[in-house]
Amino acid sequence: MTELPRKAAARTARLAALPLGYAGRQAMGLGKRLGGRPADAVLTEVQQRTAEQLFRTLGELKGGAMKFGQALSVLESALPEDVAAPYREHLTALQDSAPPMPTSTVREQLTTHLGADWPERLVWLDGAPTAAASIGQVHRGRWRDHVGDGAERDVAVKVQYPGAGEALMSDLRQIARVARGVAPVFPGIDIKPLVAELQDRAADELDYHLEAEAQAAYAEAFADHPHIVVPAVVAVGGEVLVTEWMDSAHSLAHVIREGTQEERDHYGELFVRFLFEGPRLTGMLHADPHPGNFRVLPAPDGGLGRLGVLDFGAVARLSQGQLPEAMGRLIRIALESDEESLVAGLREEGFIKDRIEVDPAMVLTYLAPFVEPAAQERFAFTREWMREQFERINDPRAESFTLATKLNLPTSYLLIHRTWLGALGLLSQLGASAPFREILEESLPGFADE
C-alpha cells in the first residue's frame, strides 16, 4: 500500500472509532456506577474522556474532521452546562490551532501554484506557521510587488494541504456515516444536516480563486471602515492565497475566555455589524462565524480595538445581491405578533409547504431565537438564553418539537440559516450585549419601518 492510501485508511479508521469510543466509555461508566460511584460523577468523567478523544482526533486529522469540530464549537453555548464544561477547552483549541505541515511541503506547494520564481516576489517566508485551519495553514512572509526594486510589504501566505480536497470529502463521508454514534455527545443538536451542509459547500472552500474573489470584494467594501478590517488580496494561485498581513495577537476565542464585559460588548457589536453590512455592501454573506476567523486589532487612537476578519472560503453568494427582503419583513411581522400574516409570509417563501397545517401561535413561539434579539434596544446574549432556545426546540415533550417536522428550509436559506445560528452561538459565547435592532434597521432589507 502506498503512503497516501495508507494515511487515508488510518484517518478513516480513527474517525470510525469515535462512536465506539463513546459507547465504550458508557460501558466503563456503568461498571463504576455499579461499583458505588455516584451517577453524576461517572457521567462527568465519561464526558471529559469523550471530549478529549473526540476533539483531539478531530484536531489532529484536520480536513473535514476539524471543520466538523469547528462547526460544532460555535454551537457549544447551546449545550447544557454540565455537558458543555468538559468540552469547552477542547472546542476552543479547535477554533485557533492545528498541527503544522512540514516546511518542505509548503515550499513545494508554493512552487506548484505560484511558479518556480516565487522567491523573487516572496522574499522572506517564516518557516513556522502562524495559524492552521481545516484545509490549510498560514505563514507570515514579505512580498515584493515588482521584481527588482519594488516596494515590500508583510503578507499572510495561506497554503492548502496537499490532498486536502480528497481528505476533506473522505472525512465528511465518514462523519456522515458515524454521525448517529457521535450524536449522544451533543444532545439537542442535529448532526446529520450539519454534515450534509458542510459537504455541499466543500468544493467552494477548496477553490482559492473563489475565496480570493470574495475577500477582494469585502476588502474593497470595508477599506474605509473605522472599526472593521479585511486584508486585501495580493496574489492567488491554485492552492496558495497571499493577502496583506494583519497584526493581531488574539482572536475572539481569547475574548470569550478572558475579555472584560466592555470588550465583549464592543466586539460583539462589531461582529453583528460586519455580519449584516457585508451582504449589503458586497452581495455576499461571510458564512463561517467561528471565533478564530475574527481577530482583535489595536485601535489607532489606543481605545478599544478594531475587528479583523479572515477566511472567505465559506461565502454565500446571494441570488438577489443582498439578504432576502422577505427575511427582514417576516422578522418585523413576528415582532408585531401578527401570527396570521407571519404564517402567510412563511408559506409564500416556502418555509411552510402547501397543505401543511400549523398553529400560528406556535410558529411565533418557535421563531423566538430569531426574533427576540430585535425586540429590544440592546439585547444581552448569554449561554443560558441560547441553551433555553435549544432545549425548547429540541424537547420531544414540547409542542414546538412536533412543529419542527412540519417546517421546510428552502435551499436559498440553508447557508443563511446556519450562519445565523452560528452567529447567535458566537454572541452567546461572548456574552455580548448589542444594539441588534438598530443594526437590522440599518442593514437588513425589509426590516425597517416603511
Q: What is the pLDDT of residues 356-369, one digit of tens each?
A: 999 999 899 888 88
At 188, is the pLDDT very low, low, confident or very high (cuts 50, 70, 90)? very low
How far is it, in rounded angstroms, from Cα 420 to Cα 181? 26
How far is it, in rounded angstroms, from Cα 119 to Cα 242? 13
Dihedral angle sign, alpha carbons of residues 316, 71, 250, 63: negative
At 23, is the pLDDT very low, low, confident or very high (cuts 50, 70, 90)? very low
The mean per-residue pLDDT over the stretch 77-94 comes to 56
Q: Contact, 73 vs 189, CB < 8 A?
A: no
The mean per-residue pLDDT over the stretch 283-295 comes to 92
pLDDT(191) > 80? no
How far is it, in rounded angstroms, from Cα 438 to Cα 215? 26
pLDDT(80) > 90? no
How far is it, in rounded angstroms, from Cα 287 to Cα 200? 13
Q: Which range (25-29, 81-85, 273-277, 282-286) has the least confidence?
A: 25-29
How far is it, in rounded angstroms, from Cα 159 to Cα 137? 6
Q: Contact, 428 vs 421, CB < 8 A?
A: no
What is the pLDDT at residue 272? 97
At 184, is the pLDDT very low, low, confident or very high (cuts 50, 70, 90)? low
User: For the chain, percent helix, then strand, then coil, each to nearest 5?
Assistant: 60, 10, 30
What is the pLDDT at residue 77? 59
pLDDT(279) > 90? yes
Mean pLDDT for the chain? 80
Residue 138 vs residue 82, higher pLDDT? 138
What is the pLDDT at residue 72? 59
At 21, is the pLDDT very low, low, confident or very high (cuts 50, 70, 90)? very low
The mean per-residue pLDDT over the stretch 12-20 comes to 55
DSSP run (H or E) holding 326:
helix 325-335
At 45, is the pLDDT very low, low, confident or very high (cuts 50, 70, 90)? low
The mean per-residue pLDDT over the stretch 167-189 comes to 63
At 30, is the pLDDT very low, low, confident or very high (cuts 50, 70, 90)? very low
The mean per-residue pLDDT over the stretch 37-59 comes to 52
Residue 221 vs residue 150, higher pLDDT? 221
Alpha helices in 305-398 (DSSP H): 325-335, 339-349, 360-366, 368-371, 383-394
How far is it, in rounded angstroms, from Cα 450 to Cα 446? 9
How far is it, in rounded angstroms, from Cα 420 to Cα 267? 17
What is the pLDDT at residue 314? 87
What is the pLDDT at residue 25? 41
Query: Which domains, ranges and CATH numbers included, belong to the chain?
Result: 3-99+169-188 (no CATH), 103-164+205-243 (3.30.200), 249-450 (no CATH)
The mean per-residue pLDDT over the stretch 191-199 comes to 68
User: Measured at the alpha carbon of residue 291, what is the angle toward residues 285 and 295, in degrees to the nearest 5?
Assistant: 90
Q: Which range (76-90, 238-252, 295-309) has the least confidence?
A: 76-90
pTM of structure: 0.78
Strands 136-144 and 131-132: antiparallel
